[in-house]
Amino acid sequence: MAKLEIVTIGHPVLEEQAKEVTKITKRTVKLVNDMLETMYDANGVGLAAPQVGVSERIIVLDVGEGPIVLINPVISAAEGEEIDVEGCLSVPERWVYVKRSSNVVVTGLNEKGKSIRIPADGLLARALQHEIDHLDGVLMVSKMLGEATIEVGDEEEGE
């Protein structure tokens, strides 16, 4: 495995519609493993392939319950809404308020090509929507309702 470079706001790949993965190869599996290592090293909860400069529809997440890998993820159902604070590895040192669906169902493939369906709420629902936005070339700052202030070492969000 290898730690990859995370591209930041202003990089053109972050504004592109990522390409669908048509075949899961050894290269795909290596990319997934490298993305997981990169995400953990950066203390992130999610990472999309465009964030490491690869325009493919692949995301990885871990909200504390173990890694999730989704290839060609699609939000098949969404309901409710909530506003909360988000950060992004591609938009360092910035936190913003974003409105998202409170419950989603996401379908896709895992790294073995098996179909998976993930019903989600809370942080997992927010992280899935955030990472899928990356695959569509959408950054959280384009959806922000306002800036948030996070005190270093403080778990609570400020105003």
What would the pLDDT profile of 136-148 be if each residue is shown by its tens digit?
Answer: 999 998 888 888 7
How far is Cα 70 from Cα 57, in angstroms, rounded to an integer? 8
Q: Do the domain assignments include residue 100?
A: yes
| 42 in a structural domain | yes
CATH number, domain of 71, equals 3.90.45.10
So what's the pLDDT on residue 149?
A: 74
Question: Residue 16 gets which letter from DSSP?
Answer: S
- Taking the CA of residue 80 as centre, how many other CA atoms within 13 Å lie in the half-sphere pointing to its CB? 11
Dihedral sign for Cα atoms in the order 47, 35, 152, 139 = negative
* pLDDT tier, 3 (very low <50, low <70, confident <90, very high otherwise): very high
Lowest mean pLDDT among 29-38, 60-69, 145-154: 145-154
Q: What is the mean pLDDT of residues 80-90?
A: 96
In a domain, 140, yes or no: yes
pLDDT at 146: 81
User: Does a structural domain hold residue 26?
Assistant: yes
pTM of the model: 0.91
Query: CB–CB of 98/125 below 8 Å?
Result: no
Question: Count of domains in the chain?
Answer: 1
pLDDT at residue 154 greater than cutoff 60: no
Q: Identify the three-state secondary structure at position 48.
A: strand
| 37 assigned to some structural domain | yes
The catalytic residue positions are 131
Range of the domain at 50: 12-148
Query: Which uninterrupted H or E stretch holds 134?
Result: helix 122-135
The one-letter amino acid at 157:
E
Q: What residues contact 92, with CB distance under 8 A and at least 6 apart?
A: 8
Residue 70 is assigned to a structural domain of this protein: yes
Whether 123 shows a pLDDT value over 50: the answer reads yes
Mean pLDDT of 88-92: 95
Q: Mean pLDDT across the chain, nearest whole number?
A: 93
**CA–CA distance, 102 with 138 (Å, rounded to integer):** 19
Q: Is 45 inside a domain boundary?
A: yes
Within a domain: residue 20? yes
